[in-house]
């Protein structure tokens, strides 16, 4: 185990691209130690990333597929063994898919990756967070949650229809923010504060990747969306800015914003908790 005491350690999922990469670079430049939970490698030729990795400031934990519980379990065990504590957990990994897809466990892929998996990561790394100083969790949400209509928690696993951005993607991000709100009192008993944050509109499109964005969004993204460093700044402010002492809130444009469908928050939490306890834990002990 890495027992060397370090003042600040952040774990970032999806740290190797887009907003996650810019957040990683920002924290490294400020002297943070970063544990990166990623699927694929960091871009070649980045001097800061290369130097940090070679010097041990950046520690890379790679999982072939974060939505595959077997792969996820192996990598989380490596983190638990390799890190003494975590000050801040950024649950940032995600993606938008162009069609209805399902995880190895049989649930809709947006929901598995961006709603269920962040809860599993939080639960599995909770002891490391309790040993940290900041004891903060930031879940990357989206302002798309404001446009989700209707919202049916029972259809998150296997939606009957698919719509780019405003379908399973938006519903999964809303579900993430809802369970964030619902779980906050339980975490507060352990001194852990959790918030969900909208990183704003960022140009994170990759040429080699099929997009889950509607056709009309792509030209707008190139012309009007902010660079990923903007979104990284939003997540950073969500962790360390003026709302750092609040728990369970959703932050949009740097302000606390009320979520829609909060009457379903506990139901969503119960759903992801059930997956964790009855499926992940029972099959991976």
**What does the pLDDT read at residue 200?**
84
Reading phi first (left if > 0) and then psi (alpha if -120 to 50, else beta), residue 45 is in left
- The secondary structure of 112-143 as a DSSP string is IIIIIHHHHHHHHTHHHHHTSSS-EEEEE--G
* Domain-wise residue ranges, the chain: 9-283
Mean pLDDT, the chain, as a whole number? Answer: 92
Q: What does the pLDDT look like over 142-194, one tens digit per residue?
A: 999 999 999 999 999 999 999 998 999 999 999 999 999 999 999 999 999 99
Residue 265 has pLDDT above 50, yes or no: yes
Strands 255-256 and 250-252: antiparallel
Q: What does the pLDDT look like over 1-51, one tens digit per residue?
A: 444 455 799 999 999 999 999 999 999 999 999 999 999 899 999 999 999
Residue 215 has pLDDT above 60, yes or no: no
Q: Which CATH class is domain 9-283?
A: alpha beta
Q: How many CB atoms lie within 10 A of CB 283?
A: 11
């Amino acid at each position: 185990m890495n027992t060397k005491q370090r003042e600040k350690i952040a774990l970032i999922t999806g740290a190797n691209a887009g907003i996650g990469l810019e957040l990683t670079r920002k924290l490294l430049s400020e002297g943070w130690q970063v544990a990166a939970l990623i699927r694929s490698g960091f871009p070649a030729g980045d001097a800061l990333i290369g130097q940090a990795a070679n010097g041990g400031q950046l520690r890379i934990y790679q999982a072939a597929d974060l939505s595959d519980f077997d792969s996820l379990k192996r990598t989380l065990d490596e983190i638990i063994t390799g890190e003494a504590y975590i000050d801040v957990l950024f649950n940032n990994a995600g993606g938008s898919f162009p069609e209805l897809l399902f995880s190895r466990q049989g649930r809709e892929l947006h929901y598995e990756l961006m709603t269920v998996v962040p809860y599993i990561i939080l639960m599995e790394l909770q002891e490391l967070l309790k040993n940290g100083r900041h004891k903060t969790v930031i879940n990357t949400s989206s302002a798309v949650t404001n446009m989700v209509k209707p919202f049916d928690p029972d259809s998150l696993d296997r939606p009957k229809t698919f719509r780019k951005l405003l379908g399973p993607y938006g519903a999964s991000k809303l579900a993430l923010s809802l369970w964030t709100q619902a779980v906050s009192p339980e975490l507060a008993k352990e001194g852990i504060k959790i918030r969900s944050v909208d990183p704003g509109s960022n140009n994170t499109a990759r040429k080699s990747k099929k997009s889950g964005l509607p056709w009309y969004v792509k030209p707008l993204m190139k012309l009007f969306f902010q660079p990923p460093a903007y979104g990284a700044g939003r997540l950073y402010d969500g962790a360390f800015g003026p709302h750092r002492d609040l728990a369970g809130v959703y932050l949009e444009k740097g302000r606390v914003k009320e979520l829609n469908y909060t009457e379903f928050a506990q139901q969503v939490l119960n759903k992801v908790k059930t997956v964790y306890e009855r499926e992940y834990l029972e099959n991976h002990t």
